[in-house]
Amino acid sequence: MARNAGSEDRGQASGEDAGNPEGAGTEVMTYREALRLALAEELERDERVFLMGEEVGVFEGAYKVSVGLLERFGADRIRDTPISEHGFVGAGVGAAMIGERPVVEIMTINFLLVAIDQVINHAAKIGAMFGGEVRCPLVIRTPNGAGAQLTAQHSQSFDGWFASAPGLKVVAPATPADAKGLLKSAIRDEDPVLVIENLPIYKEKGEVSLDPEALTPIGLAAVPRSGSDLSLIAHSFATVRCLEVAEQLADSHGLDIEVVDLRSLRPLDVETVAKSVAKTGRAVCVEEGWPSYGVTAELASRIQKTCFDYLDAPVERVGMAEVPMPYAKNLELAALPGGERIAEAVLETLEGAR
């Protein structure tokens, strides 16, 4: 089943990305290769940038994002750490406060809970507590989500938890191009940024700009598929699922579905979301996490407030079943917001409209 959202995009990004200047060229690469290229370019560009985390050096990363970086940049800038997330995230906070540009890799977002005090009580609040005189340009990279029978403690999506914290920017790229562009923007940002990756799409391929200055702006959604019947709004791997469903429903039911890829959760591009929903009149919001108190709950609230006069049906939400993730493959698949559940939500929202 094709999951190459980058090459199948039919619409246009909202706003102005730095894009791919004429003559810069592009290359088809995987999501993990795009992340690696972003890291290499930023390490080359700015000597203050360094990468640290468990197994990022000698082992070349738990998911092989940092392959070759230790050999190229040396142990001072590609630093293996002990198994102590609270410790090395704290070290990253301190390094950022004195002007360095640390990129901290956490093996999985589940382990970031061990360091949540450093993220929420320190990194996210330093700028406000010091009146902007001290900043914390820290980047934390970590994969999110489920799909490989990693069970309840390793298959969680905490996007909404971290996006609820003022002072912390949160981005979640769905394509290789945005994986590169958003990571580069995060490294150059003056505030702490959590870059949420996703396990199932590390291997997926798409066109990526080779221009070292091609950035994806933080806080700007994209519209990879234009449509007029309904808006599917998602981020990360849920965007990939939504693009597949939109194509399938076009073939099976003749539906013209628009897909909005949030790309950034904080700041949230409500303007692009509202413009889409005002055009289609119907919205289905999809996330990999639990819907209660989650990203789709926030989206539903924002859409209701900004698009009330345009809505022809209640905003629908699709997310993971509200249970700890089961181990058995059939139960795992049942718990996840797969294409069948998304399609059902779309058809129910459109019932009686055509």
Reported as a single tens digit per residue, the pLDDT across 87-102 is 999 999 999 999 999 9
Identify whether the C-beta of residue 74 lies closer than 8 Å to the C-beta of residue 103.
no
Torsion angles phi and psi, residue 202, rounded to 5: -55, -35
Model pLDDT for residues 295-327, shown as the tens digit of each residue = 999 999 999 999 999 999 999 999 999 999 999
Fold matches, 25-209 and 222-350: yes
**Quick check: 167 pLDDT over 60?**
yes
**CATH class given for the domain over 222-350:** alpha beta
**CATH class given for the domain over 25-209:** alpha beta
Among 156, 72, 57, CA closest to 103: 57
pLDDT for position 352:
61
List the chain domain ranges.
25-209, 222-350
Rounded CA gap, 134 and 190, in Å?
10
pLDDT band at 145 (very low <50, low <70, confident <90, very high): confident
pLDDT for position 208:
98
Two tokens at 30?
């995987």
Contacts of 39 (CB under 8 A, 6+ apart): 51, 65, 66, 69, 103, 183
pLDDT for position 146:
82
Average pLDDT, integer, range 77-85: 97
**Quick check: 16 pLDDT over 70?**
no
Q: Which one from 154, 207, 253, 344 is the annotated catalytic residue?
A: 154
Q: Which one from 41, 42, 54, 85 is the annotated catalytic residue?
A: 85
The DSSP letter of residue 11 is S
85 belongs to the catalytic site = yes
Share of the chain above pLDDT 90, in %: 90
Model pLDDT for residues 41-59, shown as the tens digit of each residue = 999 999 999 999 999 999 9
